[in-house]
Amino acid sequence: MAKKKDRRWSRRRLFALGVPAVLIPGFFIAMALGWNPAKLASVKNYHDIKTIFPSSGVVAQVTDGDTFELENGVGVRMIGIDAPNRGEGKWEEAREALVTLVSDKRAYLEYDRYQDDKYGRVLAWIWIDCEREPSFLPADYMHLTDNSSRGGLRENPEGCKKGTLVNWEMVRQGLASPERYKERGELKYEERIREE
């Protein structure tokens, strides 16, 4: 008699689908709240699930100078920059500047080669005040092989030519510093931000 295949949603099954370990607890919480994980089985790339990796959203709450939460509850950490943590240096000033820039605005999230962190937040370049829905290059655009990359992007994307790259703006204002990910490939706007 053939063994019946186990179709329960387990940590092992989520790993097999390519879901990073850091996101697995969130999937189980979402399932407990009624989210149907069947969608995962039909998705080749979990980054295509827009409830986890939204293309845009309205900013509901700013945590600090590089982190905020969207109205749908998704935590976002701006990639490529580092702002002071609570109690450090210009923490309050950085947080207030980000509040001024993004609160109650539609933020467009552009993903890069690294798209989530160990805290379960999505990592993204944040665009505001766009003319229309921007057309972003794919998240893996920069990746050539291992840690080698294409040349960085300098121009704003189509649909957001007059918009603002918030990550860059925080560095320009002196409230965040460019962040280089050690032993990792270059990010889309990393060079642009370092030149600020």
pLDDT tens-digit series, residues 132-189? 999 999 988 998 887 678 989 999 999 999 999 999 999 999 999 999 877 778 899 9
pLDDT at 5: 57
Residue span of the structural domain in which 175 resides: 53-194
Is 1 among the domain residues? no
Same domain, 116 and 186: yes
- The residue-averaged pLDDT of 70-99 equals 91
Copy the structure tokens of residue 24: 């697995």
Per the domain annotation, does 184 fall within a domain? yes
So what's the pLDDT on residue 33? 74
Q: Give yes or no: residues 19 and 73 share one domain.
A: no
- How many domains does the chain divide into? 2
**Whether residue 37 is found in the same domain as residue 67:** no
Tell me if 143 is assigned to some domain: yes
User: Are 86 and 30 in a shared domain?
Assistant: no
Q: How confident is the model at residue 99 (pLDDT cuts 50, 70, 90)?
A: very high
- Together in a domain, 41 and 92: no
**Could you tell me which residues are beta bridge partners of residue 124?**
78
The answer to the question of residue 147 being in a domain is: yes
3-state secondary structure the chain: CCCCCCCCCCHHHHHHCCCCHHHHHHHHHHHHCCCCCHHHHHCCCHHHCCCCCCCEEEEEEEEECCEEEECCCCEEEECCEECCCCCCCCHHHHHHHHHHHHECCEEEEECCCCCECCCCCEEEEEEECCCCCCECCCCCCCEEECCEECCCCCCCCECCCCCEEHHHHHHHCCCCEECCCCCCCCCCCHHHHHCC
Assess whether 80 and 105 both reside in one domain. yes
Which pLDDT tens digit goes with each residue over 19-62? 766 677 777 877 777 777 776 666 666 566 666 788 999 999 99
Q: Report the pLDDT value the prediction gives residue 170, as an integer from 0 to 100.
A: 97
Are both 133 and 83 inside the same structural domain? yes
Co-location of 190 and 96 in the same domain: yes
Q: Quick one: 34 and 131 in the same domain?
A: no
Say whether both 108 and 152 belong to one domain: yes
Give the whole-angstrom CA distance, residue 86 versus residue 88: 6
90 and 179 both lie in a single domain: yes
Domain with residue 126: its CATH number is 2.40.50.90
CA gap 68, 77 in Å, rounded: 7
β-bridge pairing 56-64 and 106-110: antiparallel
Residues 110 and 179 in one domain: yes
